[in-house]
Amino acid sequence: IKFSKFAFVSVCFVFFFRLLFIIIVSSHFSAFLIKCLLLFNQDAKKLAGEEPAWKEVKDAVNEVKYPKSKEEWEKVLAKCQHLLSSHTSRLPDTNIYQLKLLDCAMDACINLEAWEQALCYGSRTLGPYRLYYPNFHPLRAVQLMRVGKLQYSQGMLPQALETLKQAYDIMKVTHGTDHSLMQALMDLKEQCEAIMKVP
């Protein structure tokens, strides 16, 4: 059977586009599969650690109401510290309830003006926040700002500036430059830069 040059080119053209379609479909499927695996891995990390331990932490966090006095904040902090110390080897910071506990301990320290302790707990939240709130997420921006502010209060200026820059990069997308929180962040960042320039 003899094929014309036109027929041969047509067959090659069809074959090429079918092959391209298969590659595109398979790559989309691969991307979908990878995304599913990442989500599954993320869900597994949310409840990582020993179940009795995270259930105890879950109950404790859910029981915390917003304290109104120094004494109430002291009780909250004592409870958080007890759980964090007793579950050190049983729960990773990526466990969602452990993360909430760290946030709670950080809030208590801030309200009690225990800045160094607040920074310690806040720093531990940054990895999990990056995991659960990737890319441009407002919650991560706010957390970075809080930790950056604590670093600034402790005289950790290079670290504070780096953290505040990360918060700025996210917040300019999530909040916009006119937002009051963004203005406060820019003021803090400029103060940090100004102090660092002083010889």
DSSP string, the chain: ----HHHHHHHHHHHHHHHHHHHHHHHHHHHHHHHHHHHHHHHHHHT-S-HHHHHHHHHHHHH-----SHHHHHHHHHHHHHHHHHTTTT--TTSHHHHHHHHHHHHHHHHTT-HHHHHHHHHHHHHHHHHHS-SS-HHHHHHHHHHHHHHHHTT-HHHHHHHHHHHHHHHHHHT-TTSHHHHHHHHHHHHHHHHHH--
**Mean pLDDT of the region 126-133:** 94
- Predicted confidence at residue 37, as pLDDT, reads 40
3-class DSSP state for residue 58?
A: helix
Question: Tokens 């995304």 sit at which residue?
Answer: 35
**CATH code, residues 133-199:** 1.25.40.10
**CATH code, residues 49-117:** 1.25.40.970
Q: Which residue has the higher pLDDT, 28 or 136?
A: 136
Digit-coded pLDDT (tens) for 79-114: 999 999 998 889 999 999 999 999 999 999 999 999
Question: Tokens 């430059």 sit at which residue?
Answer: 177
pLDDT tier for residue 45 given thresholds of 50, 70 and 90 = confident
Say if residue 128's pLDDT is above 80. Answer: yes
> Could you tell me the residue ranges of all domains in the chain?
49-117, 133-199
**Domain 49-117 shares a fold with domain 133-199:** yes
Given a contact cutoff of 8 angstroms between Cβ atoms, the answer to whether 68 and 111 are in contact is: no
For residue 26, which amino acid is it? S
Tell me the pTM: 0.77
Say if residue 28's pLDDT is above 70. Answer: no
Say if residue 15's pLDDT is above 90. Answer: no
How does DSSP classify residue 95? Answer: S
- Predicted confidence at residue 102, as pLDDT, reads 97
Instruction: End-to-end CA distance of the chain: give it in Å, rounded.
Output: 87
**Mean pLDDT of the region 143-164:** 96
**Mean pLDDT of the region 176-197:** 92
pLDDT tier for residue 33 given thresholds of 50, 70 and 90 = very low
